[in-house]
Structure 1
Amino acid sequence: MNRTEHIALMASYNQWMNRKLYDAAAKLTDAELALDRQAFFGSILGTLNHLVLGDTVWLKRFALHPAGYPTLAPLDAIAAPADLKQLAFAHIRELTARRAWLDQLMIDWVATVQVADLDHRLHYHNMRGTAADKDFYSLLVHFFNHQTHHRGQATTLLTQAGVDVGDTDLLALID
């Protein structure tokens, strides 16, 4: 598997797992989703919001790549969040719609990434405004790892709330 195939697999895994998470979350009430469970982002809803906000920030950064990536152009209409802990979506229905849209955007975008694109350095600013210059492929690995990390937290919170997410292994998507 080459690097572009790897990021395509990770984008598919992201979409598959998010569908499972959101299907599981739909079994809870709004109050149960918003309940402070003493997690990094408080609630299940807070954790899922963080993932959407973090993905938005990174995808907007990836749009700065010299390749241009027209598939990421729809992100221009979305403001970058000022804080990754904000509850941008107070209701799971709106959050689910944004999540599905972002996941499809990722699938479409990674299909356009070329092997040569991966060897560039990406110049961007972090959330504190500090300039950064990092290897693009390594940033993509971080991006997908960040998603997996926080989905693991969300899965734990859902399990503690009595909802089984089911199989979460990437292995399920590998031929």
Structure 2
Amino acid sequence: MAAYNASMNQKMYAAAARLPHADLTADRNAFFGSILGTMNHLLAADTIWLSRFATHPARYSALAPMLDLPAPSSLTHSFGDYLPSLLAHRHRLDAIITEWAPQVSAEHLAQTMEYRSTRGDLYRKHFGSLVLHFFNHQTHHRGQVSTLLTQAGVDIGVTDLLAMVPDIEAP
């Protein structure tokens, strides 16, 4: 899922780069307003979740840099109004996610994780379910961005996970 998400993020940013800035920031009546607003939300949520995952008892070395980043205080936190500034943060997060994913074991996924919401509410949840939510959340909002890009006249291309699943030759 880490490789799929990094690949799809590259496609999403490349497609967005084909639009003028005004089209990226135009209010499109989406939940997060604009194309950049939705992309910002993805960055905020990923930053928040990776910061939480960095406190997992496994103490993933790949997530150590997250402990030095200020965690966004909300899911609408802005990483800027220009695609290049968002892209720089996206590259950083995707590199961290790609390095982190192989460090996660089945044993870790079976554990309970405790974290606080951005409002300060305490939760205890199954870590495997949180990781599943993390990747599903990215796919969900990239789908929204894909729709907004299509409406703006830009085709992002094939986004199905199935396209990345290798064929197996018959014996």
Calculate percent identity across the aligned residue pairs.
52
Aligned mates of 1:86, 1:61 — CA distance in 2: 16
TM-score (ref. length: structure 2): 0.95
Aligned mates of 2:148, 2:24 — CA distance in 1: 10
1:38 counterpart residue number: 29
1:140 counterpart residue number: 131
- Tell me, yes or no, if the aligned pair for 2:24 and 2:36 is still in contact at 8 Å: yes
SS of the residue 1:129 aligns to: coil
Offset, 1:30? 1.2
2:57 is aligned with what amino acid?
P
Aligned mates of 2:154, 2:53 — CA distance in 1: 34
Runs of 4+ off more than 4 Å: none
Aligned mates of 1:91, 1:34 — CA distance in 2: 9
1:99 counterpart (86, 90, 94): 90
Offset, 1:28? 0.7
Aligned mates of 1:87, 1:77 — CA distance in 2: 18
1:51 counterpart (30, 39, 42): 42
Within 5 Å, which residues of 2 pair with 1:144-163?
144-163=135-154
2:67 is aligned with what amino acid?
D
Aligned mates of 2:67, 2:46 — CA distance in 1: 14
Q: Give the structure, 1 or 2, with the largest relative contact order (CA under 8 Å, sep 6 or more).
A: 1
Offset, 1:150? 0.4
- Tell me, yes or no, if the aligned pair for 2:44 and 2:78 is still in contact at 8 Å: no
Aligned mates of 1:101, 1:87 — CA distance in 2: 16
1:75 counterpart residue number: 66
1:122 counterpart (109, 113, 118): 113
Aligned mates of 1:60, 1:100 — CA distance in 2: 16
Aligned mates of 2:45, 2:78 — CA distance in 1: 12
Offset, 1:86? 2.9
Cα deviation code 1:83-141 (max 9, x no counterpart): 21132221100101110110111010011112211111000001211000000001011
SS of the residue 1:111 aligns to: helix
How large is the Cα RMSD of the aligned pairs? 0.8
